[in-house]
Chain A
């Protein structure tokens, strides 16, 4: 998609002072997302993907330090905005959907009060208009008998319904950007498929940009237009989803894809790939490539920061290893690095 990005992030850093130094949780990452586009931030626990989304929303804990070369939303420089300016945008033009709807909904207010508040606050709507809008949105997210749900409290709803309420709340003011942090992780596969189907459908209708934070590569494969794979606070590989799944180029991305059984590709009962070792501590920062301790191909040069290499103009990865033989970035040589470790493991 060539549209002007609605969100542009360059050199984003987040550090948290902890006992023993500074925890450099996000270490200079770049990404952008355009209207109608879905970017997936992928990575394991502690890679900084949630802090990245909080940093964009201006919701970091107060002791965390945020720095960025550029952090602009629809031409507005977010680094220069004070809390008042941020909170005018938040919930109106940019909204967030959290993982755990039970802790992010207020248990003491009805669903209706919480939904209507967004509209009343940002649009100065009257109660009647806000109520109509709330019912409209609850119906849009597939909740039946929406009018009667408005007087219910969060604890009276099932997990799937609560997550739908969270989505409805995020969409109350037709935001330009939605950030969803693991929106379906706590849910059943059937509900997960329904919620993601719904998000994609609403995204098309409203033309929103969406950032989906997840660790589930199945979700990424089905939802993402663009993917940014994060490891230890850095983006180690980024590009169009199809290219990343067809030709994963960073050893970490390749390792992750080998860890999950893929029906039709992984023979039943065969050994799955794994990534030995653990994520390095980010207190005091990391010298060189952060993945080198777990990388099967690490060598001497990896103690220095790895360069960014391009597979194609929009697909790049951060590694000392040369790209697969030049020429065809997606088809030919792409198959071999993904397939060979699996067959070797058998």
Chain B
């Protein structure tokens, strides 16, 4: 595993990242009442993030921090309000169709992400038909081959999603994502709707497929134990910003941002006797329409000083990764 991490890092320095966000922002105009004026909501705020070929980048953060918007930007489903999305170093602009050949999603809920009125064969082959790749005979062989890859029995090809279990449905979603032979797969909470015993099967499958098909994953999850297990690097997001980014082992061993520390403390591992930790975070996630001044985390931060409220900390990038916190960048 260590060797894998090293090769991923080595490759990252050698060739351009397969998918990259360059100072990307996404702003929505939202209303809070029927007669209230529209206000800007900066769901993603000046984020630069790159996916090296072959890596598994974990993305963690609380609901409302902008994870989903970030994945939609990476999939080309949303155009950035500012900044650029680069695929293999080339900017993509309105090329959602071309992009979808190379970047594919796997969504959280296999109960709502599959069309209930289509057969499994038709669901898995849809990307081929949309992109008009090959002939109908070829579609059939490729569907059969892909179902083999993801461990679905051939007999379910004519079945409907309602006839399959949750784990099988998620395998169908994976087959559909991989049939175009994408380079990058954006996994948005791929196992959180599944039972524990099925979850481990899907995680094992994703890891096998990554090795066999040379895939790159962005793995969004709220389950930090799973992220620690599967990711090579982890990005921590808070209120539209990446506040820390580091190699997985280092991030879990020595978190630098107080928010990362609080997140890690909240993870409940099955160790009886340890009890439930007190995270001292407070219940209130800030309102993204009216974010706190300076460092957005300062109202919940135990180590905050008056400086933190005054000015946003700059991003510090060093050998250990990236972090945005005045504790590490020196005082303003």
Q: Bound complex: CA of A85 vs CA of B63, how far in Å?
A: 42
Query: Are B200 and A260 neighbours in the complex by a CB distance under 8 Å?
Result: yes
Asked if B29 is at the interface of the complex by the 8 Å CB criterion, the answer is no
Contact of A197 among B249, B274, B278 (CB under 8 A): B278
Asked if A190 is at the interface of the complex by the 8 Å CB criterion, the answer is yes
Q: Bound complex: CA of A259 vs CA of B249, how far in Å?
A: 21
Q: Given A188-B62, A255-B197, A259-B199 in contact, is the A221-B272 Cβ separation under 8 Å?
A: yes
Query: Are A221 and B200 neighbours in the complex by a CB distance under 8 Å?
Result: no
Query: Using Cβ atoms and an 8 Å threshold, which residues of chain A touch B277?
Result: 193, 197
Query: Using Cβ atoms and an 8 Å threshold, which residues of chain B touch A257?
Result: 270
Query: Using Cβ atoms and an 8 Å threshold, which residues of chain A touch B199?
Result: 259
Q: Which of A44, A189, A241 has the most CB of B within 10 A?
A: A189
Contact of A144 among B265, B269, B281, B284 (CB under 8 A): B284
Q: Given A190-B263, A266-B229, A268-B228 in contact, is the A245-B278 Cβ separation under 8 Å?
A: no
List residues of A whose CB falls within 8 A of some B CB: 44-45, 142-144, 158-161, 164, 188-194, 196-197, 200, 215-224, 241-242, 245-246, 255-263, 266-276, 278
Query: Using Cβ atoms and an 8 Å threshold, which residues of chain B touch A45?
Result: 166, 195
User: In chain B, residues 261-294, which have Cβ atoms closer than 8 Å to a Cβ of chain A?
Assistant: 262-263, 265-279, 281, 283-285
Query: Are B197 and A274 neighbours in the complex by a CB distance under 8 Å?
Result: yes
Q: Bound complex: CA of A237 vs CA of B269, how far in Å?
A: 20
- Sampled A-B contacts (26; CB under 8 Å): A143-B283, A189-B222, A190-B62, A190-B281, A194-B279, A194-B281, A196-B268, A197-B277, A200-B276, A216-B268, A221-B274, A222-B269, A222-B276, A245-B272, A246-B272, A257-B270, A258-B200, A259-B199, A262-B269, A263-B228, A263-B252, A263-B269, A269-B1, A269-B4, A269-B229, A274-B197
Query: Are A215 and B195 neighbours in the complex by a CB distance under 8 Å?
Result: yes
Query: Using Cβ atoms and an 8 Å threshold, which residues of chain A touch B279?
Result: 190, 193-194, 197
Q: Bound complex: CA of A216 vs CA of B283, how far in Å?
A: 22
Additional A-B contact list (6), CB under 8 Å, known A246-B272, A268-B1, A272-B204: A191-B62, A196-B276, A200-B276, A217-B270, A255-B197, A257-B270
Q: Given A196-B268, A262-B269 in contact, is the A44-B275 Cβ separation under 8 Å?
A: no
Q: Bound complex: CA of A142 vs CA of B282, how far in Å?
A: 8
Q: Bound complex: CA of A263 vs CA of B263, how far in Å?
A: 15
Asked if B316 is at the interface of the complex by the 8 Å CB criterion, the answer is no
Query: Are A256 and B196 neighbours in the complex by a CB distance under 8 Å?
Result: yes
Query: Are A271 and B225 neighbours in the complex by a CB distance under 8 Å?
Result: no
Query: Using Cβ atoms and an 8 Å threshold, which residues of chain B touch A260?
Result: 196, 200, 225, 270
Query: Are A159 and B229 neighbours in the complex by a CB distance under 8 Å?
Result: no
B interface residues, tally (CB under 8 Å):
47
9 tightest A-B contacts by CB? A221-B270, A261-B229, A218-B268, A272-B200, A193-B266, A275-B197, A259-B200, A269-B1, A44-B195
Asked if B207 is at the interface of the complex by the 8 Å CB criterion, the answer is yes
Query: Using Cβ atoms and an 8 Å threshold, which residues of chain A touch B273?
Result: 242
Asked if B165 is at the interface of the complex by the 8 Å CB criterion, the answer is yes
Query: Using Cβ atoms and an 8 Å threshold, which residues of chain A touch B274?
Result: 221-222
Query: Are A190 and B262 neighbours in the complex by a CB distance under 8 Å?
Result: yes
Q: Given A192-B268, A268-B248, A268-B249 in contact, is the A218-B283 Cβ separation under 8 Å?
A: no
Contact of A44 among B197, B224, B263, B271 (CB under 8 A): B197
Asked if B201 is at the interface of the complex by the 8 Å CB criterion, the answer is yes
Q: Which of B166, B229, B252, B285 has the most CB of A within 10 A?
A: B229
Chain B min CB distance to A67 (Å): 28
Q: Bound complex: CA of A224 vs CA of B273, how far in Å?
A: 9
Q: Which residue of A lies closest to B202 (CB)?
A: A274
Asked if B86 is at the interface of the complex by the 8 Å CB criterion, the answer is no
Query: Are B276 and A272 neighbours in the complex by a CB distance under 8 Å?
Result: no
Query: Are A160 and B275 neighbours in the complex by a CB distance under 8 Å?
Result: no
Query: Using Cβ atoms and an 8 Å threshold, which residues of chain B touch A191?
Result: 62, 283
Q: Bound complex: CA of A266 vs CA of B267, how far in Å?
A: 16
User: In chain B, residues 237-276, which have Cβ atoms closer than 8 Å to a Cβ of chain A?
Assistant: 248-249, 252, 262-263, 265-276
Query: Are A274 and B272 neighbours in the complex by a CB distance under 8 Å?
Result: no
Asked if B230 is at the interface of the complex by the 8 Å CB criterion, the answer is yes
Q: Which residue of A lies closest to B267 (CB)?
A: A189
Q: Given A245-B272, A256-B196 in contact, is the A164-B230 Cβ separation under 8 Å?
A: no
Query: Using Cβ atoms and an 8 Å threshold, which residues of chain A touch B204?
Result: 271-272, 274
Chain A min CB distance to B8 (Å): 12
Query: Are B228 and A221 neighbours in the complex by a CB distance under 8 Å?
Result: no
Q: Which residue of A lies closest to B61 (CB)?
A: A188
Chain B min CB distance to A161 (Å): 7
Query: Using Cβ atoms and an 8 Å threshold, which residues of chain A touch B144?
Result: none
Chain A min CB distance to B99 (Å): 29
Chain A min CB distance to B272 (Å): 5
Query: Using Cβ atoms and an 8 Å threshold, which residues of chain A touch B195?
Result: 44-45, 215
Chain B min CB distance to A215 (Å): 6
Q: Bound complex: CA of A260 vs CA of B278, how far in Å?
A: 23
Asked if B226 is at the interface of the complex by the 8 Å CB criterion, the answer is yes
Chain B min CB distance to A115 (Å): 17
Chain B min CB distance to A187 (Å): 8
Chain B min CB distance to A291 (Å): 11
Chain A min CB distance to B171 (Å): 13
Asked if B157 is at the interface of the complex by the 8 Å CB criterion, the answer is no
